[in-house]
Amino acid sequence: MRTITQYLLLCCAALASGCSQQPAPTPAETLEARLRNCVEHGLVLFGHQDDLFYGKHWNRWDSGCEQSDIRAVAGDYPAILGVEIGGIELGDSLSLDRVPFRLIREGIAEHHRRGGIVTVSWHAANPATEGNSWDVENAAGTAARMLEGGDLHALTREWLARVGDFLASLRDDNGEPIPVIWRPWHEMAGGWFWWGAPYCSPEEYKALWRLTFEYLQNERGLTNLLWAVSPGFTDRCDTGYTDYYPGDDCVDLIGIDIYQYGTDEAFRTLTRQHLATLADMARTHGKLLALTETGYESIPNPAWWTETLLPALDDAPVAYVLLWRNAWDRENHYYAPFEGEASADDFKAFADEERIGLLGDLNALGE
């Protein structure tokens, strides 16, 4: 997403240098073109949250091991690495999932160096209570208080400044900004986060999004963010696509987070329906589409990958699908296979599908 101001500045720079050519694409524009290229080739990139930092039976900070549950099972890294920066706003050195931010920054650079794509989520703390994202007691009106004129505005700017510092610090070996799919204020259609629909009107939500956008994109001038909006699935999630949609000028990718809680059949049907609706919306608005989070906690069906997830994607033009994390410290909180896990063989078959892209498939496609 390039704002008009950024575009004009680039044009002036091009003119001043006596050059009449188009300004060079920003890192975010290059990333967008890469994702569009995948969609045109019918390649759905596979992503896994926190893949390089920990897995079911390991974590990188204790052992220094550079592992990946996906690579252990399928022989390659995921194409998309999901990372979570909740806690950065408080100035913490560990994320809310206890991953050192130093390692997160390193892992992002490492994945980028290998040709992979990164997406960043942010489970922000509650600025009114300094509780976590799930602290929804008396949450009504919190977002409104964060806007200009509100009593939480100064704190909000402090938090956004820390987020901006982190995002600006993502650099490749030549010091160039590393582009990321940036997915703040997600799952707003549900009632589990303090910025969710029961506590935050569409106007307040859109104003919060715009505040975040204005600050990071314009004030900080970051050129490495591809802005992704993703309502979480609820029976009201249509509201998320429509009333809570922040606007074409500040969104690049439209996604949805859908997890399986019921039967395989129910998940397939629901996912297909929502992706079909969103595909229409993405087409009309000229945006990319993705299944920004999904999974079936502890994968109770050993054939879930080929029987359920693959057909759920049908022929929706999704750029990627991101599976949630394999928690190392919670018994059954995992969404991707690991060595010896019951669905590992089926996952291998899924990953071998021509349509599904791990890191090597993404790189094979070129720019």
User: Which residues lie near ligand BMA (CB under 6 A)?
Assistant: 84, 86, 96-97, 123, 324-325
**Complex with ligand BMA: residue 213 or 324, whichever CB lies closer:** 324
Instruction: Take residue 42 and report the two structure tokens written for it.
Output: 């019918």
Minimum distance from CB of 119 to ligand BMA (Å)?
A: 12
Residues 127, 133: Cα–Cα separation, whole Å: 9
Beta bridge partners of 322: 47
Minimum distance from CB of 293 to ligand BMA (Å)?
A: 8
**Complex with ligand BMA: residue 53 or 305, whichever CB lies closer:** 53
**Complex with ligand BMA: residue 245 or 334, whichever CB lies closer:** 334
Residues 241, 229: Cα–Cα separation, whole Å: 9
**Complex with ligand BMA: residue 112 or 123, whichever CB lies closer:** 123
Strands 58-59 and 54-55: antiparallel
Q: Which residues contact 103 (CB under 8 A, 6 or more apart)?
A: 53, 60, 61
Strands 117-121 and 180-183: parallel
Element (H, E) at 58: strand 58-59
**Complex with ligand BMA: residue 96 or 323, whichever CB lies closer:** 96
Minimum distance from CB of 82 to ligand BMA (Å)?
A: 9
Residues 75, 45: Cα–Cα separation, whole Å: 15
Minimum distance from CB of 335 to ligand BMA (Å)?
A: 9
Rg for the chain, CA atoms, rounded: 20
Minimum distance from CB of 97 to ligand BMA (Å)?
A: 5
Q: What are phi and psi of 28, to 5 degrees?
A: -65, -40
Interior CA angle at 360 toward 356 and 365, to 5°?
Answer: 75
**Complex with ligand BMA: residue 167 or 323, whichever CB lies closer:** 323
Residues 27, 138: Cα–Cα separation, whole Å: 40
Minimum distance from CB of 42 to ligand BMA (Å)?
A: 30
**Nearest to ligand BMA by Cβ — which residue?**
84
